[in-house]
Amino acid sequence: MEDPHFKRTRARDARRWERGDSTERKETLAVEEPLEIRLGGRRFTLTMRTPGNDEELVAGFLFAEGFIENAAEIDEIRRVRDGDGKPEDNIVDVILRVPVDSLRERLRRNFAMTSSCGLCGKTSIESIARRIRPPADAASIAASTLAGFGRSLADEQPLFARTGGVHAAAIFDLAGQMMAIREDVGRHNAMDKAIGWALERDLVPLRDAVVVVSGRLSFEIVQKAAVAAVPIVAAVSAPSSLAVELAEEAGTTLVGFVRDGSFNIYTHPQRILPR
Give me the phi and psi of 143, to 5 degrees please.
Answer: -60, -40
Distance between CA atoms of residues 117 and 237, nearest Å: 23
In a domain, 25, yes or no: no
Same domain, 81 and 146: no
Same domain, 116 and 151: no
- With beta carbons less than 8 A apart as the criterion, state whether 239 and 256 touch: yes
Same domain, 166 and 224: yes
**CA 69 distance to own-chain centroid:** 17
For residue 146, the domain's CATH number is: 3.40.140.10
DSSP codes joined into one string, 51-83:
SS-HHHHHHHHHHHTTS-SSGGGEEEEEEEE-T
Same domain, 120 and 175: no
State which H helix or E strand residue 116 sits in.
helix 100-116
Helix (H, G, I), strand (E, B) or coil at 25: strand
Same domain, 105 and 150: no
- pLDDT (tens, 9 = 90+) of the chain, 275 residues, equals 445 557 899 999 999 999 889 999 999 999 999 999 999 999 999 999 999 999 999 999 999 988 999 999 999 999 999 988 899 999 999 999 988 888 888 777 665 555 444 445 555 566 676 678 788 888 999 999 999 999 999 999 999 999 999 999 999 999 999 999 999 999 999 999 999 999 999 999 999 999 999 989 999 999 999 999 999 999 999 999 999 999 999 999 999 999 999 999 999 999 999 97
**Could you say which of 66, 98, 130 is where a domain stops?**
130
**Could you say which of 99, 130, 161 is where a domain stops?**
130
Q: Which residues are catalytic?
A: 117
Q: Please state, as a whole number, how many other Cβ atoms lie within 10 Å of the Cβ of residue 156.
A: 15
Same domain, 158 and 244: yes
